[in-house]
Amino acid sequence: MVLSNTERKIIEDSIRDIKDFPKPGIVFKDITTLLNNKEAYGVLMNHLYQRYKEYNLDYIAGIDARGFIFGAALAQMLGLGFVPIRKKGKLPYTTISEKYSLEYGIDEVEVHIDAFGNIPNAKVLMIDDLIATGGTANAAATLINQTGATCVEACFIIGLGFLDGQTKLKETTEVYSLIEVN
């Protein structure tokens, strides 16, 4: 399932660029304007539903925090469970975690040890709003696979193609980005 040119334009036009945020030289892709645009959000969610309805998925996993917005809505549309992948220390039950490198240090994501139930080799779609350098996404995909589930694809609303994140992530799972920014 590929976005039509009209659908792509509706989604692209709804994403606001914020220059020099969070620091000089960065152009931040603000999705809040996509979320509050019912036409654009509807086009986006319908596209995701059409793309993934035949994947025979067991779960959708969303990365903290914007991945929750798209992941939970898509899980409901597909009749699936939703699993949050959170920053360290945010989940109340026993977790497993995966560390990843940041520009100035290390961070960590976690998931509950029983997040994917008792389904052997559960098929999981991972989703987030954007992939840049891919540290968080790689850690999250690795974490899904460590639970005994399989991350069948990582989906992003925006892929920053000029960074190497998608290339690195393709070593772990398939990658789909609706909007490519080069």
Instruction: Reply yes or no on whether 8 is catalytic.
Output: no
Please identify which of the residues 103, 108, 110, 171 carries the catalytic annotation: 103
Residue 20, burial from CB neighbour count under 10 angstroms (0-12, 13-18, 19+): exposed
Question: Which residue out of 66, 110, 171, 174 is catalytically annotated?
Answer: 66
Does residue 139 contact residue 161 with C-beta atoms inside 8 Å?
no
Local structure of 174: helix, strand or coil: strand
* Closest to 151 in 3D by CA, of 170, 127, 125: 125
Residues 168 and 142: their CA atoms lie apart, in Å, by 12
- Residue 66: active-site member: yes
Would you call 12 helix, strand, or coil by DSSP?
A: helix
d(C-alpha 173, C-alpha 49), whole Å: 20
Q: What's CA 163's distance to the chain center, in Å?
A: 16
The residues annotated with a catalytic role in the active site are: 66, 103
